[in-house]
């Protein structure tokens, strides 16, 4: 459910936003320089006369860099289509400096489907490498040196992309396959912890290798893998905990909000009393939406007594008391709302839920689980044989 920030939407596919992360824009010139620098050596390996190729090396470098990220897009598209076919929900596809991310709001329900979803990406890259290799072979000897060289270069990059992603370095595809294989025996939380440790081990190896070879790009990849493995492990543990906790145990109880017909001046007073940046809007105890302090302050002071809350309120997601905390948190993230309204069986306001409420509850329940695990471990160790 993690959202990639700092990305610009460039299109959509079946209603799924396709985004380009700002890091990709930063790394493209570097990749163009690296590929351009390897231009002569690549031409030798491809058995193509360098003097027969059009354009400057940097131009080829830029073209190959763009082709690489087009290949990454195809790789991520394979993940997305498989996830959709197996009941997953995809929020967006984001191309980044170290590859791509298919952001899932709902993963496929079975570990087997997650393994296959992870596998189809590298297999697609390897299949693309095979097709490009056949194209390279097909145009060899025809004098189409530029096409032959382009196909060879992209075939090599897709081969690397497929093989590299199969390494069991979580959260890369190979690491996700490893986690799915372990989940049947260990459960998702423990399997994620093990895969995360393996992923961080690979990240350290990549980092040392990058330092030894003065390869900054490899060090950046190592950093992203290390942070990604740690972040994924924390999220899976959070999900496992929140799925066992009801919204009623996390929320801040509240039976009244700012009345929809109240003036903005009255609403501002409520913000001062409550010391919150967002409050529910109600009518006869039933929630209608939320109002943010920024929206109230954006109205000139002289107009606040004449204008009502209904003019600046916005919709807010709603949850029931018996729902679990993970469902509620996911709904807040999907709708981009800092406030979730909790209702009782009659549809009346029972409380509110903010990220801070979830964080406090998560810490409390995780500490409780850790104490229970320690007590159970101590009991097993002290139990007479």
Domain ranges within the chain, ordered by starting residue = 7-242, 247-362
Residue 75 labeled ligand binder:
yes
In this predicted structure, what is the pLDDT of residue 42? 78
Q: Which CATH number fits domain 247-362: 3.10.580.10, 3.40.640.10, 3.30.1360.120, 2.40.40.20?
A: 3.10.580.10
User: Minimal CA–CA distance to 105: which of 16, 177, 11, 229?
Assistant: 16
In this predicted structure, what is the pLDDT of residue 383? 66
User: Minimal CA–CA distance to 171: which of 257, 236, 113, 253?
Assistant: 236
Give the span between the Cα atoms of 347 and 299, in whole angstroms.
Answer: 31
Lookup: tokens for 133:
């290799």
Lookup: tokens for 135:
């194209």
In this predicted structure, what is the pLDDT of residue 56? 80
Lookup: tokens for 76:
């991520």
Question: Is residue 303 among the annotated active site residues?
Answer: no
User: Minimal CA–CA distance to 105: which of 95, 91, 115, 84?
Assistant: 91
In this predicted structure, what is the pLDDT of residue 2? 42
Options 76, 232, 270, 354, the catalytic residue:
76
Find the radius of gyration of the CA atoms of the chain.
27
Give the span between the Cα atoms of 118 and 173, in whole angstroms.
Answer: 5
Contact 97, 63 (CB under 8 A): no
User: Minimal CA–CA distance to 218: which of 227, 209, 226, 228?
Assistant: 209
Instruction: Tell me the pairing of strands 258-259 and 278-283.
Output: parallel
Neighbour tally for 10: CB within 10 Å:
10
Give the span between the Cα atoms of 190 and 373, in whole angstroms.
Answer: 13
Instruction: Tell me the pairing of strands 89-96 and 16-21.
Output: parallel
Q: How far is CA 197 from the centre of its chain?
A: 19
In a structure prediction context, what are the per-residue pLDDT tens digits for the chain, which is 385 residues long?
Answer: 344 556 778 888 777 888 888 777 777 887 888 788 777 787 777 778 777 788 788 888 888 888 888 898 899 899 888 888 877 778 788 887 666 777 766 666 677 888 888 999 999 999 999 999 999 988 887 778 888 888 888 999 899 999 999 999 898 999 999 999 998 888 888 999 999 999 999 999 999 999 998 887 788 889 888 988 888 888 888 888 999 999 999 999 998 899 999 999 999 999 999 888 899 999 998 999 999 999 999 999 999 999 999 999 999 999 999 999 999 998 888 888 889 999 999 999 999 999 899 999 988 888 887 787 777 777 877 766 5
Cis amide linkage into residue 171, ω under 30° from 0: yes
234-239, Cβ contacts within 8 angstroms, sequence gap of 24 or more: 235/1, 235/2, 236/188, 236/189, 236/192, 237/189, 237/192, 237/193, 237/366, 238/326, 238/362, 239/326
Residue 21 labeled ligand binder:
no
The reported pTM is 0.76
């Amino acid at each position: 459910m993690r959202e990639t920030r700092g990305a610009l939407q460039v299109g959509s596919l079946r209603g799924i936003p396709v985004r380009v992360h700002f890091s990709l824009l930063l790394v493209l010139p570097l990749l163009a320089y690296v590929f351009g620098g390897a231009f002569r050596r690549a031409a030798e390996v491809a058995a193509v006369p360098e003097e027969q190729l059009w354009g400057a090396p940097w131009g080829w470098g830029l073209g190959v860099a763009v082709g690489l990220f087009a290949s990454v897009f195809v790789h991520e598209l394979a993940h997305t289509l498989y996830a959709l076919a197996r009941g997953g929900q995809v929020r967006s596809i984001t191309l980044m400096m170290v590859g791509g991310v298919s952001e899932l709001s709902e993963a496929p329900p079975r570990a087997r489907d997650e393994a296959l979803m992870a596998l189809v990406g590298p297999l697609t890259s390897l299949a693309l490498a095979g097709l490009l290799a056949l194209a390279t072979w097909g145009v060899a000897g025809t004098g189409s040196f530029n096409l032959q060289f382009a196909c060879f270069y992209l075939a090599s990059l897709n081969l690397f992309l497929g093989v590299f992603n199969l390494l069991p370095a979580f959260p890369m595809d190979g690491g996700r396959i490893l986690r799915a294989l372990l989940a049947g025996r260990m459960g998702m939380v423990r399997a994620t912890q093990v895969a995360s440790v393996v992923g961080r081990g690979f990240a350290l190896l990549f980092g040392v290798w990058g330092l030894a070879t003065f390869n900054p790009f490899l060090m950046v990849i190592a950093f992203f893998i290390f942070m990604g493995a740690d972040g994924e492990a924390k999220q899976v543990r959070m999900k496992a905990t929140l799925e066992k906790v009801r919204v009623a145990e996390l929320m801040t109880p509240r039976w009244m909000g700012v009345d929809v017909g109240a003036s903005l001046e009255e609403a501002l007073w409520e913000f001062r009393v409550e010391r919150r940046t967002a409050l529910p809007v109600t009518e006869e105890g039933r929630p209608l939406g939320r109002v943010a302090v920024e929206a109230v302050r954006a109205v000139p002071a002289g107009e606040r007594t004449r204008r009502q809350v209904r003019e600046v309120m916005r919709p807010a997601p709603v949850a029931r008391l018996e729902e679990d905390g993970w469902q509620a948190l996911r709904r807040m993230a999907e709708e981009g709302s800092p406030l979730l309204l909790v209702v009782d069986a009659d549809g009346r306001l029972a409380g509110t839920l903010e990220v801070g409420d979830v964080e406090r509850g998560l810490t409390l329940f995780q500490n409780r689980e850790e104490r229970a695990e320690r007590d159970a471990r101590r009991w097993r160790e002290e139990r007479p044989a």
